[in-house]
Amino acid sequence: MFGRVLRNPKLLSMPARQSAQVRRLNLHEFQSLEIMKGFGVATPQGIPADTPAEAKAAFSKIRGDREGVDVVIKAQALTGGRGLGSFKNGFKGGVHMCTRPEQAEDFAKKMLGETLVTKQTGEKGIEVAKVFLMERVWMRREMYFSILMDRASQGPVMVASPAGGTSIEDVAEATPELIFKESVDISTGPTDEQVSRLAKALGGEGAVLKKLETQIKNLYNMFIGVDATLVEINPLAETREGEIFACDAKLNYDDNAAFRHKEIFAKRDKTQEDPREVEASSYDLNYIGLDGNIGCLVNGAGLAMATMDIIS
């Protein structure tokens, strides 16, 4: 996604995304949020569940004695577009709002062990083995924030937009003036001035400004601490009470740093991946499964794309 955003002709000042690294590790949403909490990033309360009974219990634990607190149940599958997807058993949507523990249990029954089909998975779909129940956050507004490695500046770049909760590509195309970036010196980290500029660009004022600055610093510390190549928060939400929460997260990791983060890479869910790619990775080979019956063996990303374009 970032490649097209950063190469947008309206954003020529924004460098192209680095694409040389191999990224095999893809974590579930609940795993990413768990890692973020360890770095002080504020996230809504959430509990994963493997069975309908666990989902019911998770709902009750999240709500506690707070009547009126709603809970979101999300199918945990390594694909985008879960909310608009559908299950092969006929159940529509991989994301639902629950108001009662019995409702959470019923939704879990319709999701767990079933195959979720989204635009990204194609007709084959992907099996859901876990659901994630998370406290609903009443948002005053939604923002966007990300950090990625940038080849042009040879370091991290922080990207922010007050227009979150939607495709950042659409924002870049329609309103490029709403996207802000700061290139970071990786040897020193972001300056207070850079952090403050982005927090203000996100619309932060007063106490909210300080909370945004804190979350930006925590997200950068996590980015460096886990050797990430991408941290994307969409949405980064401001609640009606003026709190700041990361309500969804996408994290990519540098495989070359796997030896430093064995506990993170141990979370890899190979059952959700293409078995051909899993087999290839066991031999340190980079393999991308595609449709069709023509294989392409190349020694560079640019050559690979050019060759595939010619074949197609």
Amino acid at 17: R
Tell me which of 54, 182, 232, 238 is the catalytic residue.
232
Strand residue runs (E) in the chain: 46-49, 71-75, 86-87, 95-98, 115-117, 126-127, 131-135, 139-150, 155-161, 180-183, 228-239, 244-246, 249-253
Report helix, strand or coil for 103. helix
For the question of residue 144 being annotated catalytic, the response is yes
Tell me which of 29, 54, 105, 144 is the catalytic residue.
144
And the tokens for 265? 């890479």
Amino acid at 116: L
Contact assessment for residue 71 and residue 134, using Cβ atoms and an 8 Å cutoff: yes
And the tokens for 32? 């990413």
Three-class HEC string of 111-127: HCCCEEECCCCCCCCEE
Helices (H) and strands (E) in the chain, counts: 10, 13
Phi, psi of 161 (to 5 degrees): -150, 135
**Cβ-Cβ contacts under 8 Å for 4 (sequence gap 6 or more):** 169
Active-site residue list: 144, 232
